[in-house]
C-alpha cells in the first residue's frame, strides 16, 4: 500500500518538476534533461509489465501534451518500460520470490548505475531522434543526446544517493 | 482456438508494447501535418491554465526587461504622433474646408491584438509559444505574431481562451523575407542550433548586400504586412561552386526574454483569401 501511494506521489511530483522547472532550463540552448523517467525506473522489479507499459504511455503522453510533441515522449517512455526487465536481468539476478525496488542499496552501486545509464541513454536516443525526425545534422542530435544523458544521469544519481535507499 | 488464446496470453506484453509504440508513432506522424489534435497540446484549457499559473510567478522576474521594451516603444510611437501631427498641420491649409472621406491605404488595414506569453521554450528542436488569448479575443490560425523588436512567429492552433504559436525558432516555419534595401527575397529557416541565429536561403550569387543589412517581411502572405524587421545579416559565405549564398541571420527578437506580443489581425483576410481561392479553383 505504501509503495502504491509512493508511486502516485512520485508520478505527480516528477511531472510537475519536469514541466515547470527542468523544461525551462536556459543554459546553452542544448540542455533539457528528462528526469520524469525515474518513475518507470523505480517501479518494483516484479511489477506487472503490461501495467508499466500503460503507465509509461500515459506518463509520456502527459509530458508530450505540455511540450506540444504528441507521441514523442510516449514512444521513448514505452520503449524503456518494455526494455526495463531485460536490462535488469542482464545486470543482476533477482532471487525467486523477492520483489525489490531498484535502488543503490537493493541493486548495489555498480549494477544500479549500469541499469540507470543504459535506460537513460536508450530513452534519450529514441527521444531526440524522433523529435528531429530526420538523420540530417545527426551530429547535433548526437551532441544533444550525449549532453542531456549526462545531465539526466547526474541528477538521477544525485536524487538516489540523497534518499539512502528509502523511497 | 485454444492455441491462439494461449499464444495471445504468452505474448500479451509484446503485443501491448507493439500496439502502444504504433499508437505513439501514429501521433508523431500525424503531428507533421496541419490537422493536429488540439487535445494533446498546451492550448488544452487545463494545461494552459497550469502554464498561466506558473507564468504569473516567473513573469515577475522579467518585469524590468518588459518595461524597457514598452518604454522604448512608447517613445517611438510618441515621436511618430508628433511627426504625423506636424504633417497634418502643414497639409491643412491645402485642404481648405472640404469634407472628403479619408482614403485608407490598403497597407493600413491591420489591427493588433495584445497577448501575453504564458509558455515559451528556446532549447528544443521544435519550440512553441503559448499565448493567453484565443478565438474569443479574435485570434485565428495563420495570424502573424510580432513584438516591439520584430517578427515572433505564426499562430498554429487556437482554442477558446488560448493559442499556440510556431515561432521562428522552429524548422516547421519558413518566413518569407526580403532585403530592405534591394527587395531580393528568400525564406528564413531556423536550423535548431542557436536561438539567436537563423539561416536565409535562396539568395543568388549576383545579389549585392553587406553585413548588417536588415531583413524585413515581404508582405506576400496573409500573416505579416510588409516591412516588419526579422533580423540582420550576421555572416555569409559562398563557395566558388555555389549558386546561392549561405547567410546567417541574427534574429531581431530575443526569444529568451519574450513576455508580451501583438497578434496581427489582417482585416481583409477573408476577402483576399476568397478571391485568391476562386482564381486558383477555376
Q: How many Å lie between the alpha carbon of B82 and the closest alpha carbon of chain A? A: 41
Residue B215 sits in a domain whose CATH number is 2.40.10.350
Asked if B194 and A29 come within 8 Å (Cβ–Cβ), the reply is: yes
Mean pLDDT of B151-168: 92
SS3 A47: coil
Range from B81-90, B101-110, B246-255 that averages highest in pLDDT: B246-255
Q: What is the CATH number of domain A2-163?
A: 1.10.1760
CA dihedral A55, B36, B162, B251 (to 10 degrees): 110
Backbone dihedral angles phi then psi of residue B80, each to the nearest 5 degrees: -65, -40
Read off the pLDDT band of B41 (50, 70, 90).
low
Q: Considering chain B, what is the average pLDDT of its residues?
A: 82
The alpha-carbon radius of gyration of chain A (Å, integer) is 15
How many domains are there within chain B?
1
Q: What is the DSSP code (8-state) at residue A139?
A: H
Asked if A53 and B16 come within 8 Å (Cβ–Cβ), the reply is: yes
Read off the pLDDT band of B142 (50, 70, 90).
confident
List CB contacts (< 8 A) between B124 and chain A.
32, 67, 131
Asked if B25 and A75 come within 8 Å (Cβ–Cβ), the reply is: yes
Residue with cell 501534451: A65
Asked if B42 and A20 come within 8 Å (Cβ–Cβ), the reply is: no
The alpha-carbon radius of gyration of chain B (Å, integer) is 24
The answer to the question of residue B25 being in a domain is no
List CB contacts (< 8 A) between A133 and chain B.
28, 32
B42 shares contact with chain A (CB less than 8 Å): yes
Asked if B28 and A72 come within 8 Å (Cβ–Cβ), the reply is: yes
B17 shares contact with chain A (CB less than 8 Å): yes
Q: Which of B20, B36, B40, B257 is the mutation pick for testing A, counting most A CBs within 10 A?
A: B20
Give me the pLDDT at residue A156, please.
Answer: 92
Give me the pLDDT at residue B95, please.
Answer: 65
The answer to the question of residue B148 being in a domain is no
Please enumerate residues of A whose Cβ is less than 8 A from a Cβ of B.
19-20, 23-26, 28-32, 49-50, 53-54, 56-57, 60-61, 64-72, 74-75, 78-79, 82, 128, 130-133, 137, 140, 144
Q: How far apart are CA B178 and CA B169, in angstroms?
A: 18
Residues 6+ apart with CB under 8 A from B146: B152, B224, B228, B261, B262, B264
CA dihedral B56, B58, B63, B66 (to 10 degrees): -90
Read off the pLDDT band of B165 (50, 70, 90).
very high
**How far is C-alpha A157 from the geometric centre of its chain's CA atoms?**
12
The answer to the question of residue B272 being in a domain is no
pTM over 0.80: no
- Structural domain for B207, as ranges: 175-254
The answer to the question of residue B195 being in a domain is yes
Asked if A31 and B256 come within 8 Å (Cβ–Cβ), the reply is: no
Nearest in space to A79 (alpha carbons), one of A47, A124, A109: A124
Amino acid at each position: 500500500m505504501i509503495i502504491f501511494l509512493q508511486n502516485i506521489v512520485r508520478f505527480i511530483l516528477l511531472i510537475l518538476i519536469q514541466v515547470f522547472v527542468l523544461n525551462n532550463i536556459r543554459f546553452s540552448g542544448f540542455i533539457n534533461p528528462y528526469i520524469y523517467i525515474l518513475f518507470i525506473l523505480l517501479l518494483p522489479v516484479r511489477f506487472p509489465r503490461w501495467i508499466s507499459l500503460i503507465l509509461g504511455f500515459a506518463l509520456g503522453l502527459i509530458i508530450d501534451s505540455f511540450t506540444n510533441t504528441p507521441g514523442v515522449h510516449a514512444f521513448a517512455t514505452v520503449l524503456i518500460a518494455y526494455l526495463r526487465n531485460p536490462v535488469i536481468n542482464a545486470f543482476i539476478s533477482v532471487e525467486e520470490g523477492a520483489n525489490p525496488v531498484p535502488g543503490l542499496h537493493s541493486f548495489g552501486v555498480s549494477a544500479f548505475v549500469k541499469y540507470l545509464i543504459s535506460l537513460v541513454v536508450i530513452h534519450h536516443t529514441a527521444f531526440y531522434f524522433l523529435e528531429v525526425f530526420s538523420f540530417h545534422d545527426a551530429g547535433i542530435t548526437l551532441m544533444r543526446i550525449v549532453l542531456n544523458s549526462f545531465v539526466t544521469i547526474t541528477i538521477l544519481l544525485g536524487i538516489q544517493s540523497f534518499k539512502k535507499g528509502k523511497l | 482456438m485454444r492455441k491462439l488464446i494461449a499464444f495471445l496470453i504468452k505474448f500479451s506484453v509484446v503485443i501491448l508494447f507493439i500496439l502502444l509504440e504504433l499508437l505513439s508513432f501514429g501521433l508523431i506522424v500525424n503531428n507533421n501535418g496541419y490537422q493536429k489534435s488540439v487535445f494533446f497540446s498546451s492550448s488544452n484549457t487545463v494545461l494552459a491554465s497550469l502554464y498561466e499559473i506558473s507564468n504569473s510567478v516567473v513573469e515577475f522576474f522579467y518585469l524590468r526587461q518588459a518595461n524597457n521594451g514598452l518604454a522604448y516603444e512608447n517613445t517611438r510611437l510618441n515621436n511618430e504622433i508628433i511627426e504625423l501631427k506636424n504633417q497634418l498641420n502643414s497639409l491643412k491649409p491645402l485642404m481648405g474646408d472640404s469634407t472628403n472621406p479619408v482614403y485608407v491605404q490598403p497597407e493600413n488595414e491591420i489591427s493588433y491584438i495584445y497577448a501575453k506569453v504564458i509558455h515559451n521554450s528556446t532549447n528544443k528542436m521544435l519550440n512553441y509559444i503559448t499565448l493567453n488569448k484565443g478565438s474569443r479575443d479574435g485570434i485565428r490560425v495563420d495570424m502573424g505574431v510580432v513584438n516591439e523588436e520584430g517578427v515572433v512567429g505564426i499562430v498554429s492552433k487556437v482554442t477558446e481562451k488560448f493559442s499556440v504559436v510556431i515561432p521562428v525558432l522552429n524548422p516547421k516555419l519558413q518566413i518569407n523575407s526580403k532585403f530592405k534595401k534591394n527587395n531580393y527575397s528568400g525564406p528564413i529557416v531556423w536550423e535548431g542550433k542557436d536561438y539567436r541565429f537563423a539561416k536565409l536561403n535562396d539568395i543568388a550569387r549576383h545579389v549585392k548586400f553587406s553585413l548588417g543589412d536588415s531583413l524585413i517581411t515581404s508582405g506576400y502572405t496573409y500573416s505579416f504586412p510588409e516591412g516588419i524587421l526579422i533580423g540582420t545579416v550576421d555572416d555569409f559565405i559562398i563557395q566558388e561552386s555555389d549558386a546561392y549564398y549561405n547567410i546567417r541571420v541574427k534574429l531581431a527578437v530575443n526569444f529568451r526574454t519574450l513576455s508580451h506580443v501583438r497578434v496581427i489581425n489582417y482585416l481583409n483576410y477573408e476577402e483576399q483569401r476568397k478571391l485568391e481561392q476562386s482564381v486558383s479553383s477555376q
